[in-house]
């Protein structure tokens, strides 16, 4: 494992929600970070078929463009009754004809697909959110950190916090969806905490323990 010996990195994302969550997570470690969106880097085509492949594509593109280490996230909702869909295509399910993303439409798409296969009770609506963080260096070296959180798909959507599919994901052991949780409850994690809740926080916890010697 290669250790990160600088606190200057690029957050390899154009997704405002992800950038905000990653900024919240790395803030306590004194990082100086700018996003690929701020630096006006072109978004690379995510042609991978796994979260790891797509995370690497994004992190390597920003690392090579900036000459600095870059941290990316590729994440998605994996639903058992749908054979793992939308999975790596989670964002694609939200794409509209004009190129924008409509997650209300995407959540309805998920619900329609679940209804079609008769997944009407919680035991048939099991799912997990997956996050893979990739830390890439300009020389092409990468390190991967994967976090997952189990739960069920709720309907109708609940809450206006978070982003993406958060309003329909109820993590195991909770009566509230990610969309009803504060940022601190959903992804807040600090060194010394034994547990992290969200998939992204769980991946970040591994990143800290592996690359920052925290």
DSSP characters over 134-182 = EEE-TTS-EEEEEEEEEEEE-SS---SSSSTTGGGEEETT-SS-GGGS-
Tally of CB atoms within 10 A around 144 = 18
Asked if the model's pLDDT at residue 132 lies above 50, the reply is: yes
What digits encode the pLDDT tens for the residues 177-193? 999 999 889 987 877 77
Tokens found for residue 36: 């690929």
SS3 call for 72 = strand
Output the pLDDT for position 28.
Answer: 85
Average pLDDT over residues 117-126: 97
Output the pLDDT for position 31.
Answer: 85
- Give the start-to-end residue ranges of the domains of the chain: 8-211
Q: What is the mean pLDDT of the chain?
A: 93
What digits encode the pLDDT tens for the residues 52-69? 999 999 999 999 999 999
Which contacts of 118-121 are long-range, i.e. CB under 8 A and separated by 24 or more positions? 119/81, 119/153
Catalytic residue among 74, 80, 123, 166: 74
> ∠121-126-203 over CA atoms, to 5°?
155
Q: How far apart are CA 213 and CA 4, in angstroms?
A: 9
Asked if the model's pLDDT at residue 172 lies above 80, the reply is: yes
Burial of residue 173, with CB atoms counted within 10 A of its CB: 0-12 exposed, 13-18 middle, 19 or more buried: exposed
pTM: 0.92
* pLDDT-wise least confident of 25-39, 127-141, 163-177, 187-201: 187-201
| CATH of the structural domain 8-211, one choice from 3.90.950.10, 3.40.50.10490, 3.40.630.40, 2.40.480.10 | 3.90.950.10
Q: b or e along 83-108 (b: 16 or more beta carbons within 10 Å of the residue's beta carbon)?
A: ebbbbbebbebbeeeeeeeebeebbb
Output the pLDDT for position 213.
Answer: 64
Q: How far apart are CA 80 and CA 111, in angstroms?
A: 13
Asked if the model's pLDDT at residue 195 lies above 50, the reply is: yes
C-alpha distance from residue 7 to each of 3, 10, 28, 40, 85 (Å): 11, 10, 11, 21, 36
Q: Is 74 a catalytic residue?
A: yes
Question: Residue 142 forms beta bridges with which residues?
Answer: 136
Average pLDDT over residues 128-156: 97
Tokens found for residue 141: 């070296």
The closest of 154, 197, 161 to 182, measured between CA atoms, is 161
């Amino acid at each position: 494992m290669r250790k990160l010996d600088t606190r200057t990195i690029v957050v390899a994302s154009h997704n405002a929600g992800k950038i905000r969550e990653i900024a919240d997570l790395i803030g306590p470690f004194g990082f100086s970070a700018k996003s690929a969106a701020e630096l006006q880097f072109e978004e690379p085509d995510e042609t991978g078929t796994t979260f790891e492949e797509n995370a690497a594509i994004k992190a390597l593109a920003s690392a090579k463009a900036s000459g600095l280490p870059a941290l990316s996230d590729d994440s998605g909702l994996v639903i058992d009754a749908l054979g793992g869909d939308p999975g790596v295509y989670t964002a694609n399910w939200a794409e509209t004809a004009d190129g924008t993303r409509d997650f209300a439409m995407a959540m309805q798409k998920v619900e329609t697909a679940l209804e079609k296969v008769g997944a009407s009770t919680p035991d048939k609506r099991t799912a997990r959110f997956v996050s893979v963080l990739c830390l890439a260096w300009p020389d092409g070296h990468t390190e991967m950190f994967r976090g997952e959180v189990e739960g069920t798909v709720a309907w109708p959507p609940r809450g206006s916090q978070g982003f993406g599919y958060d309003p329909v994901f109820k993590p195991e052991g909770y009566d509230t969806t990610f969309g009803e949780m504060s940022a601190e409850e959903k992804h807040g994690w600090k060194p010394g905490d034994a547990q992290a809740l969200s998939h992204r926080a769980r991946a970040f916890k591994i990143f800290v323990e592996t690359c920052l010697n925290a």
